[in-house]
């Protein structure tokens, strides 16, 4: 019964039930039942639109406040700046790794045409038109001539650029004026999160309605593709976790056995809680006691990492978007990938601390839009995000501790206190 209290579990059960009932209806072949299911499916489309209506205002608000937060963090000193540099470098490295690894894995293990067709059946009203601008047009599009029009047209990349400039501009205002505007954007973002939480309360029903359409049109054929999705995204997350281990051992120069002993309890907590914040006390304790990280470094870098850094965010969010591209048979251009990486880096900072289901929609949706992909399929993928989310947390805490160990290696030793 405790499992049923989890929204993720209830959403997953809604999907399974919808797929099953839709498949039974398809096997029965009764046109009246099919009409009823199509009518019920419309409520799934309504639920999807309720989620979509918050994406643009939420992404803008959290980016503006996120930029201000990072700027405040940078002002805390040289160590914070070095930590932020490592965070940015690893996020960029992870993005490039994800594009190469996920596309390579899907080339070796492609999505079956039948499975892709079955999964697309659950995306009502999907448009698969994909714009492919040339380099000059792409450069011009980075600065929106009309930000309101860009928002209305779901032009995420120029909107992200505008939000980044707005965030940095607010840090240049007098503190009392800048703080006021940041608080306003924070309030807008918080209000959007409340709306998303309300919408997600109906998630089991919304996904059930969408699942009915999938089951009606394709039977249970989509189940294998969803399993394929879980495996691909989870393997991508596992890969970046291994990269975190290698960084700690090679760059941080922590012996592998010592690193495994230090991270073991933290990874167990991450697996159980799926929350980097819940792992913070254990990360500080293990870094200090097992890895010999000075308290002044662990006490600054690890809370900063939890606040603004999620190493798996661009990695796994890009992997989700790339899987969607393969489902629809689309091949984004290098320019679209460049834009998607910029969006992925921006939202990885802005969406830190958001609830898991909110973070999935607000992070993956803009990346798909930057790649010219439909996002109607995302609620179906959200229903099975329980398993990949475990690998997100495992990779995040590994990255946090790896950066901390690297910074501790290069930090000057604190002077020993003199004997009285």
Return the structure tokens found at 257. Answer: 């056995």
Instruction: Name the nearest CA neighbour of 234 among 128, 62, 386, 92.
Output: 386
Give the C-alpha separation, 206 to 200, whole Å: 9
pLDDT of residue 76: 57
Query: Cα 323 vs. chain centroid, distance in angstroms?
Result: 14
Give the C-alpha separation, 386 to 113, whole Å: 25
Return the structure tokens found at 77. Answer: 């000193």
Alpha-carbon torsion, ordered 370, 374, 379, 381, to 10 deg: -80
Return the structure tokens found at 379. Answer: 């609620």
pLDDT of residue 181: 87
- In whole angstroms, how far apart are CA 345 and each of 29, 112, 139, 181, 340? 48, 30, 18, 23, 9
Give the C-alpha separation, 193 to 191, whole Å: 5
Query: Cα 69 vs. chain centroid, distance in angstroms?
Result: 19
Taking the chain (420 residues) in runs of 10, the rounded mean pLDDT of each run is 63 80 76 78 80 80 75 66 89 95 95 82 57 63 77 75 83 83 86 83 83 68 82 94 93 91 88 76 88 85 81 93 93 90 83 62 86 85 82 91 89 47
Helix axes of 276-289 and 295-308: crossing angle, nearest 10 degrees: 160
Angle (nearest 5°) at CA 355 between 194 and 85: 120
Return the structure tokens found at 398. Answer: 């590994």
Quick check: pTM over 0.85?
A: no
């Amino acid at each position: 019964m405790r499992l049923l209290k989890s929204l993720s579990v209830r959403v997953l059960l809604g999907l399974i039930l919808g797929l099953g009932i839709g498949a039974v209806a398809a096997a029965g072949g009764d046109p009246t039942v099919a009409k009823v299911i199509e009518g019920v499916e419309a409520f799934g489309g309504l639920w999807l639109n309720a989620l979509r209506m918050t994406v643009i205002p939420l992404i803008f608000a959290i980016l503006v406040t996120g930029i201000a937060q990072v700027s405040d963090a940078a002002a805390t000193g040289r160590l914070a700046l070095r930590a932020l540099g490592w965070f940015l470098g690893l996020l960029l490295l992870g993005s490039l790794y994800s594009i190469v690894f996920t596309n390579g894995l899907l080339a070796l293990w492609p999505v079956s045409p039948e499975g892709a067709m079955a999964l697309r059946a659950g995306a009502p009203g999907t448009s698969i038109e994909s714009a492919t601008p040339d380099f000059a047009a792409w450069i011009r599009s980075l600065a929106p001539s009309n930000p309101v029009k860009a928002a209305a047209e779901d032009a995420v990349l120029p909107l992200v650029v505008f939000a980044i400039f707005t965030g940095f501009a607010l840090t240049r205002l007098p503190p009392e004026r800048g703080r006021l505007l940041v608080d306003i954007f924070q309030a807008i973002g918080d209000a959007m999160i409340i709306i998303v939480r309300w919408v997600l309360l109906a998630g089991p029903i919304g996904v059930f309605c969408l699942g009915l359409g999938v089951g009606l049109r394709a039977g249970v054929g989509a189940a294998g593709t969803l399993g394929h999705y879980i495996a691909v995204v989870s393997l991508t997350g596992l890969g970046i976790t291994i990269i975190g281990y290698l960084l700690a051992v090679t760059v941080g120069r922590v012996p592998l056995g010592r690193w495994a002993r230090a991270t073991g309890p933290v990874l167990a907590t991450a697996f159980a809680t799926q929350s980097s914040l819940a792992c913070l006390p254990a990360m500080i304790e293990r870094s200090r006691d097992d890895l010999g990280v000075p308290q002044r470094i662990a006490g600054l870098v690890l809370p900063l990492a939890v606040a603004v850094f999620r190493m798996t965010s661009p990695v796994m969010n890009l992997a989700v978007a790339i899987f969607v591209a393969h489902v629809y048979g689309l091949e984004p251009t290098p320019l679209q990938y460049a834009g998607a990486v910029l969006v992925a880096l921006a939202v990885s900072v802005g969406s830190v601390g958001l609830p898991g289901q909110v973070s999935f929609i607000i992070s993956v949706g803009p990346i798909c839009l930057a790649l010219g992909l439909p996002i109607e399929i995302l609620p179906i993928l959200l229903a099975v995000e329980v398993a990949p989310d475990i690998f997100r947390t495992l990779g995040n805490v590994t990255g946090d501790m790896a950066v901390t160990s690297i910074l501790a290696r290069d930090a000057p030793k604190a002077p020993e206190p003199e004997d009285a």
